[in-house]
Amino acid sequence: MTNWNERFETIPRGKIAAVATSMELRIRPNLRPERADAPGHIRPVQKPDIDWYLEVYRRVGADHLWFSRLFMERETLAAVLDDSATYVAALTIDGRDEGMLELDFSEDDICEIKYFGVTRLLQGTGAARRLMNHAITVAFDRGVSRVWLHTNTLDHPNAMSFYRRTGFVAYAQQIEIADDPRLRGVLPMNAAPHVPMFPIEGWRDED
């Protein structure tokens, strides 16, 4: 019988942890019908401006502590966004971008949905389904045989069921541990209040 204490591992202070689930599509699914009143339209973004990208990335992802692009050097991110293997689109309402999609075609015959989401304003409106239908169409129209993504326990609580309804199947799980982006200063301290913070000893909020 497993000792109770052996089931748990202490996460270092200053870090966040989540269970990440990888999910995939091996065949092109039938697109889910879109709501007639779903807001917004999809706007492909050619060679995205870094400041625009990071602004939308923060607004869409702050509630779920999206951080990896915020930790990147600007030159590195610029190279990613300028790469022909990267596809970016925005979901736009009245001239304001309220959703984002980033696809990665850098592996032969494979598309990774790198980032996908809408702002809190659009959750439950059908906008996310419209954006996902666009992602699936773009990916499979390029002839890939596999589309995959990963979601984690910091995402919207309905994210997993949304992906399953779309046709994605879970195939692996991992524990993800990273620096807390709020303590690193790249996201506001009040972002994702449902996720506790554990500053390292001696940490001070300079603000």
* 88 domain-assigned: yes
Structural domain harbouring 135:
24-179
In whole angstroms, what is the distance from residue 115 CA to residue 35 CA?
23
Q: What is the pLDDT of residue 1?
A: 55
Phi and psi at residue 188, to the nearest 5°: -60, 150
Kindly state the helix (H) or strand (E) to which residue 131 belongs, with its residue range: helix 127-141
Among residues of the chain, what percentage have pLDDT more than 70? 95
pLDDT computed for residue 6 by the predictor: 76
Question: What is the value of pTM for the model shown?
Answer: 0.92
The pLDDT value given to residue 202: 63
Does the residue 66 lie in any domain?
yes
Q: Is residue 69, in this structure, part of any structural domain at all?
A: yes
Q: How many CA atoms lie within 13 A of 89 on its CB side?
A: 23
Q: Is residue 174 a part of any domain in this protein?
A: yes
Say how far apart CA 98 and CA 96 lie, in whole Å. 6
Number of folded domains in the chain? 1
Whether 47 and 85 have beta carbons less than 8 Å apart is answered as no
Residue 95 belongs to some domain of the structure: yes
Residue 72 lies in a domain: yes
User: Has residue 15 been placed in a domain?
Assistant: no
Which pLDDT does position 185 carry in this prediction? 94
Strands 169-179 and 15-25: antiparallel
Strand partners, 147: 25, 111
For residue 168, being part of any structural domain is answered with yes
The CATH number of the domain holding residue 43 is 3.40.630.30
Helix pair 159-166, 127-141: axis angle to 10 deg = 50
**pLDDT, position 146:** 98
| Distance between CA atoms of residues 87 and 105, nearest Å | 8
- Taking the chain (207 residues) in consecutive chunks of 10 residues, what is each chunk's mean pLDDT? 72 96 97 92 95 97 95 96 97 94 98 96 91 98 97 94 97 96 95 94 61
Quick: pLDDT tens for 21-71.
999 999 999 999 999 999 999 999 999 999 999 999 999 999 999 999 999
